[in-house]
Amino acid sequence: MKTQDVQEHFRVQVPDYPGLMRRLIPFYDQQRVLMRALIPFDRTTPLMVLDLGCGPGLMAAEILSEFPFSRVTLFDLTAEMIHVCKARLAGSDRATYRIGDFRTDDFGGGYDLIIASLSLHHLERAERPAFFRRVHESLLPSGHLIAAEVIVDESPEVRERQYELWQRFMIEQGEDGAAWYQKHLAKDHPIDISIDLGHVAFTGWLHSPRLFLALPQLRYHQRAPGRRLTGEWSRRRLNPERRR
Ligand SMILES: C[S@@+](CC[C@H](N)C(=O)[O-])C[C@H]1O[C@@H](n2cnc3c(N)ncnc32)[C@H](O)[C@@H]1O
């Protein structure tokens, strides 16, 4: 999606953003609890944190409160989101704000922790390897990335079922599930786990403790009839070249 389209999409959501997210995203608030629980640093560490696609700053506010010696850079493409962050964190001298595009703009370096919550599905697939390399370089050697991604199953049947469940969830919250689903298909770039691991491995992270991958989206597993889940089968799923 073009930069201006992303900005416009989120600009109109700003006034009731957290409410809307709770109606669209299952376990929206619990995801942040999980992501914070994954932060592998002592709460008194003076952390340097970057929140990529920070939205209205809910996560940044929680990190600043839970880690009283941390400093957080809030980075987002949508100026209106950054305005809301400034209002939310008014008076904090530990927050820094940057309006920019994480695909192309510099987001600094020397971070202990980079957070990306529900923002990386705006990257096109081809943009992911270079993006992950830049994130890797922006982290200190002991740094961590914690990302909540939009991950779909590789099986078309299972994916269809996941999407049905998601639409049902949105309808139960009073939203037009079908319309949001169509918007998602048109605008987002969800990935499956093989693609994600492929890019992470490409960056050189697979066996490094730097990556914590949070998968908080609803996942639904169905065993294919007559198929045994063997090591070989799993490896083939992780390496598309070997599927043939
Ligand atoms: C779905 S919202 C998630 C916001 C927040 N992280 C949360 O969990 O509530 C995605 C955010 O990413 C921002 N965003 C999308 N593409 C971006 C890009 N290329 N560079 C920087 N921010 C981007 C949007 O402006 C929006 O605020």
The closest residue, in CA terms, to atom 4 on ligand 1 is 55
Query: Do residues 132 and 193 both lie within one domain?
Result: yes
Give me ligand 1 centre to Cα 174, in Å.
24
Question: 161: domain range?
Answer: 153-187
Shared-domain flag, residues 107 and 122: yes
β-strand 111-117 against 48-52: which pairing, if any? Answer: parallel
Give the residue whose CA is nearest to atom 19 of ligand 1.
Answer: 101
Q: Report the predicted TM-score, pTM, of the whole model to 2 decimal places.
A: 0.83
Centroid of ligand 1 to alpha carbon of 131 (angstroms): 15
Long-range contacts of 172-180 (CB under 8 A, 24+ apart): 173/22, 173/23, 173/24, 174/23, 175/23, 175/24, 180/24
Across 65-93, average pLDDT: 96
Lowest mean pLDDT among 67-71, 101-105, 124-128, 236-240: 236-240
pLDDT of amino acid 152 = 83
Domain assignment present for 98 = yes
Same structural domain for residues 120 and 226?
yes
Do 58 and 168 lie in a common domain? no
What is each CA distance from 76 to 47, 90, 163, 243, in whole angstroms?
A: 20, 17, 27, 38
Atom 20 in ligand 1: residue holding the nearest Cα: 101
Same domain, 220 and 107: yes
For 31-71, write each residue's pLDDT tens digit: 899 889 888 899 999 999 999 999 999 999 999 999 999 99
How many domains does the chain contain in total? 2
Does 109 share its domain with 202? Answer: yes
Nearest residue (CA) to ligand 1, atom 9: 55
Asked if the structure places residue 28 within a domain, the reply is yes
Residues 196 and 95 in one domain: yes
User: Looking at the domain assignment, is residue 239 inside a domain?
Assistant: no
Residues 88 and 71 in one domain: yes
Pocket of ligand 1 (CB under 6 A): 6, 10, 21, 53-55, 58, 76-78, 81, 101-103, 117-119, 122
The upper half-sphere exposure of residue 6, i.e. CA atoms within 13 Å in the direction of its Cβ, equals: 23
- Digit-coded pLDDT (tens) for 177-236: 999 999 999 999 988 877 766 666 566 554 444 444 444 443 333 334 444 433 333 444
Strand segments (E) across 32-179 = 48-52, 71-76, 95-99, 111-117, 139-148
DSSP 205: -
Instruction: Pick the atom of ligand 1 nearest to 7's CA.
Output: 25
Residues 64 and 182 reside in one and the same domain: no
Residue 89 backbone class (left: φ over 0; alpha: ψ -120 to 50; beta: rest): alpha
